[in-house]
Structure 1
C-alpha cells in the first residue's frame, strides 16, 4: 500500500534513505523536470550519501498545485525545509540547468542564516549574473516543444503524445518563466567551493559562461567539461557520479 508524502516530503524526496551516511546531498531538477530524475543518482550514491531530490509544485503527484514562476520563491521554500532537516551532517547541493539557479539561491539563503552548505555542484547552466534575454516562455506550444526536443531532455516519443504534452506544458512554461525572468543583480560570494559541470556540445551553454561561476565563491572553483549536449549527464552518468563522489569525499564540515 502506497502512502501519500507528508507536507514536508512534498518538497523533498528521499528515495534511498541513508541515515548513517556521512553527508547529505540535495538535488534540484531542470526546467520541466521532477524529483524522479534523480532516482538513479540516489541509488548509485546510497548508502554513502543521503540523497534528497526536490519536487517542485505543478508536476507528477504535485500536478494539482499551482506552479511557481519565481526562482526566489522556490529557493525560500526549499531552504526552509532543508534547514528544518539539518542534523549536523555536511550538506551539499547539486542542480542541473534551472536547478543550478535554485540550488545557488538556496545556498545563499542558508549562508545568510549562518548554516552554509559545504559544497555547490552546478550543471548545464551559465553563471547567475549572465543574463541573455531568452523568450522561450513566450513561444507557442509547438515552439516550446521544439526547444525541449533540441535539448533532448525529454523522450521524443513522449513529446509526440498530445495528452502528455498538455500535461507537462504548464510546468515547463512556469519553469521557463522563472528562469528567464531571474536576474542576480547583486553578487553572492558563497563560502563553499563550487564545482561546475557542462557538456562540450551544449547548444545553450558556453564553457566560458560556466567558468563565470567562479565569481560567486570565495572557497575555490572547479570546472569539468564532459562529452555531450545539454543533458550530457544521462549518457555520462558514470563520469558525473565520479565527479560528485570526489567532491563529496573532500567536503569541509559546514561552519
Structure 2
C-alpha cells in the first residue's frame, strides 16, 4: 500500500513556496521522496528557503527556480529550465497567491487585476507549460490550491473570491482537455490555516472566536493537515481522481 504514495524519483514544482502553505506542501512532497523545485519571485528569500530545506534532505533533492508566474514567457522559461536542469516534471502544485482587502466600491482596477493575475492566470500559464511536457509522456499531476472562498464569500476580498472560484473551474477545464492524455488535475481548498501570515487573525479575539464557532472541528487548520491530501493527489494513489476540489476545512463549507 505504501508504494501507492511513494514519490521517489518524481520531480515536483511548487509555485509560491518560499514560505507558508507552499513551503509546507513542498516539504510534504519531499518527505514522500520527490525532488522538489521551490519557486518565488524574490531571489534572496527563495535561496534562503532552498538552503533551509536542503539541509534536511539528500543533496540535489531540493532546488529552486525564481520566475514570475504571471508572465507567459517567464513561465515558459522556468519550466524549460526545470526540465533541462532537474528532470522531467511529474508534479505541479499551483500555489502562488496574494490577497488584497478592500470594499469593491473602493477597489482599484489595478489591484483587482493583480490578484486575478497572481491567483488565477498564473495557474493557467504555468499549468499550460507543464502540460505541454506532461502530455507527450502520458502522465502528470497538477494540483491547484484553491480556498474555502472557492465556495464562500466574505466582504472586502472580491478579487480573491473571484480568482479562487475561477480556479475551481479552471481545474475542471484542464481535466476536460488533458485527462485523456494521462494527466490528473485536482484542487485542494484549504480552510483557515494557522501560519505566520495568518497569525494576526489568530490573535484577533473576535475573529478567532468566529472561526472556532463557524468550523465544526472547532479549530484552525495546520499546514500538516494539507500534507496528506497533497501527497495523495501527487501520487499513484489518485490515478482515477480527476477534476475534483477537495475541501480541507474542518467542515466549514458544509454547515450554515
Normalization by structure 2: what TM-score? 0.45
Q: Is the helix fraction higher in 1 or 2?
A: 2
